[in-house]
């Protein structure tokens, strides 16, 4: 679908979107608006019948249920994603089942098929290698790495649409974005599945410190921010490391690498104004030397290598760390997880996600206090938000712009849709400005309205609304009962009001 193919009715949508202003605030929002607000903020919007279901259950009870996803049966969503086999594999199985074609060619004793040929003989040799690699993959029923990305995207879309554990899905999206990694960076093609399924999802509603440590020890994060190469600068160790850790034929300088240390403080915990210095960055980087990956092309497990570690004393945020060894990194995690700046930074991001692009200071203060009181209990911080006056205020209602993922998923839910999560849905989300798992920078996607408001992205949204209601999206159908025709349904999901949450 190209941006320029928008139909006349789409031009009406676009005009509405571009000229729309914020929804005026009333003195209070109605009971039905409160239910809609909860369904939009704690999840991906209402399906037919959801508003009545929450009305009968009661808003407070519904929120408490969502805060405990383990208590909610989710068989429909589980059944929908059952065919996505890579999601159940461990890292070793993924590497073996979805090999990198060039590496497979080398393993088979062939010239890597993507190297530039110097002459016609080499070109013929590469063509032969490609054919043999393809034949081998077909004979052994092997997949390609790109299929791993597609299964992740399909899982995110289908669970967003069908999961009864709506808040769990929202928090998985939130924390993956907070601890962002880039799928297309080398080994992370094979490590991202494990990162979401075994690091982010299980910790999304637990203690922040546990989530922080899980990401710090994740091979996906260690590779993404290059900490797997960070080593005490000794020539002998550097030479051994250079020989042992090669990935995708890329040679990298060894020695102490500050990438993870900097992002750990700036993006994961304290925030850019959290009170740390460049000296702290260097000291934290020293503390995490030796946190690396064992057998990156096979099991890819986290391992601590003492010979790579800087065992000297460190001083981090005025805390002396004298021990040496793996405990240095664990001590840094503890210091950062209990720092007041971390409490405020995490509180601010959560309030921005669930309440307003400009988080009310009054609520940020309450959530930060909850973080400190409960030792970073994510569930309790969310409870503080959801039962606050600020969350249910007229100023909060309908003021957040839906991300492309939220827009696509909520549209299908609102129209009682049925889908198999065809690849085109993921591509459309990317065209709207949110290529899932493919945001290069460690910042993750910004959680502000202006991030999603480019003209091209809006046109893609409107074309999506038309295609969805006309039944033109593969493996996706919606129920238009209640609308006199597809155009009326498209006007509904293309309206400025629906595109906000």
Q: Which of 286, 319, 337 is the last residue of a domain?
A: 337
pLDDT in tens, 238-282: 555 555 544 444 445 569 999 999 999 999 999 999 999 999 999
Do the domain assignments include residue 111?
A: yes
End-of-domain residue from the set 79, 108, 142: 142
Residues in the chain: 501
Q: Is 481 within the bounds of a domain?
A: yes
Q: Tell me which long-range contacts 387-390 makes (C-beta under 8 A, separation of at least 24).
A: 387/60, 387/63, 388/363, 390/351, 390/355, 390/356, 390/360, 390/362, 390/363
3-state SS assignment for residue 303: strand
Its domain, for residue 7, covers 3-23+399-494
What is the model's pLDDT at position 4? 44
Residue 173 lies in a domain: no
pLDDT score for 115: 63
Residue-level pLDDT at 15: 45
pLDDT at 126: 79
In this structure, are 326 and 428 located in the same domain? no
The beta strand positions in 255-342, using DSSP E, are: 291-294, 301-304, 314-316, 319-321
| pLDDT beneath 50, residues of the chain | 1-4, 6, 8-13, 15-23, 245-251
Residue 285 in any domain: the answer is yes
The model's pTM: 0.91
- Rounded CA gap, 475 and 498, in Å? 23
What is the predicted pLDDT for the residue at 122? 76
**Phi, psi at 477, each rounded to 5°:** -135, 150
In a domain, 190, yes or no: no
Tell me: do 103 and 19 sit in the same domain: no
| Backbone torsions φ then ψ of 500, nearest 5 degrees | -110, 160
Q: Does residue 215 lie within any of the structural domains? A: no
Q: How many structural domains are present in the chain?
A: 3
Asked if residue 156 is part of any domain, the answer here is no
- Within this chain, do residues 233 and 328 fall inside the same structural domain, yes or no? yes
Of 158, 173, 159, the closest CA to residue 475 belongs to 158
Domain end call among 124, 142, 160: 142
Residues 231 and 315 in one domain: yes
Residues 495-500: contacts with CB within 8 Å, 24+ apart? Answer: 495/13, 495/16, 496/16, 496/17, 496/20, 497/23, 497/398, 498/410, 498/411, 498/414, 499/17, 499/401, 499/402, 499/407, 499/461, 500/23, 500/398, 500/399, 500/400, 500/401, 500/402
3-state class of 116 per DSSP?
A: coil
Give the number of other Cβ atoms within 10 Å of residue 123's Cβ. 12
Is 159 a member of any domain?
no
């Amino acid at each position: 679908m190209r941006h320029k193919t928008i139909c006349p009715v789409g031009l009406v949508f676009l005009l509405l979107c571009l000229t729309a202003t914020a929804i005026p605030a009333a003195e209070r929002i109605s009971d039905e608006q409160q239910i809609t607000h909860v369904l939009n903020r704690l999840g991906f919007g209402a399906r037919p019948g959801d508003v009545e279901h929450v009305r009968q259950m009661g808003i407070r009870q519904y929120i408490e249920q969502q805060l405990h996803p383990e208590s909610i049966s989710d068989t429909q969503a589980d059944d929908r994603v059952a065919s996505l086999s890579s999601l159940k594999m461990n890292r070793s199985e993924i590497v073996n089942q979805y090999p990198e074609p060039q590496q497979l060619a080398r393993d088979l004793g062939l010239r890597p098929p993507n190297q530039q040929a110097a002459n016609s003989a080499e070109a013929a040799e590469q063509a032969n290698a490609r054919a043999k690699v393809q034949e081998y993959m077909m004979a052994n029923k092997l997949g390609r790495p790109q299929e791993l990305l597609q299964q992740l995207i399909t899982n995110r879309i289908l669970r967003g649409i069908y999961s009864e554990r709506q808040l769990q899905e929202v928090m998985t999206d939130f924390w993956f974005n907070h601890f962002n990694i880039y799928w297309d960076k080398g080994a992370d093609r094979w490590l991202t599945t494990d990162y979401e399924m075994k690091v982010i999802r299980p910790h999304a509603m637990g203690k922040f410190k546990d989530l922080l440590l899980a990401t710090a020890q994740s091979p996906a994060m260690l590779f993404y921010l290059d900490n797997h190469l960070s080593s005490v600068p000794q020539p002998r160790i550097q030479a051994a490391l250079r020989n042992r850790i090669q990935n995708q034929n890329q040679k990298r300088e060894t020695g102490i690498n500050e990438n993870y240390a900097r992002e750990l403080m700036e993006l994961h915990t304290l925030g850019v104004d959290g009170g740390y210095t460049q000296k702290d960055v260097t000291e934290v980087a020293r503390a995490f030397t030796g946190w690396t990956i064992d057998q990156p092309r096979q099991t890819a497990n986290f391992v601590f290598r003492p010979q790579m570690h800087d065992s000297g004393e460190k001083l981090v945020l005025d805390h002396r760390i004298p021990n040496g060894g793996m405990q240095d990194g664990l001590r840094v995690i503890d210091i950062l997880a209990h720092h007041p700046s971390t409490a405020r930074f995490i509180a601010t991001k959560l309030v921005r996600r669930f309440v307003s692009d400009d988080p009310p200071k009054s609520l940020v203060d309450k959530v930060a206090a909850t973080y400190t009181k409960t030792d970073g209990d994510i569930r309790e911080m969310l409870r503080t938000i959801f039962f606050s006056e600020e969350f249910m205020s007229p100023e909060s209602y309908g003021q957040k712009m839906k991300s492309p993922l939220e827009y696509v998923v909520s549209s299908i839910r609102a129209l009682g849709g049925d889908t198999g999560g065809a690849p085109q849905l993921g591509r459309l989300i990317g065209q709207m400005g949110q290529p899932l798992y493919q945001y290069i920078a460690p910042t993750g996607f910004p959680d502000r309205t202006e991030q999603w408001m480019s003209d091209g992205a809006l046109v893609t949204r409107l074309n999506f609304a038309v295609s969805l209601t006309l039944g033109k999206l593969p493996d996706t159908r919606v129920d238009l009962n209640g609308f006199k025709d597809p155009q009326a349904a498209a006007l509904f999901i293309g309206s400025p009001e629906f595109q906000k949450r």
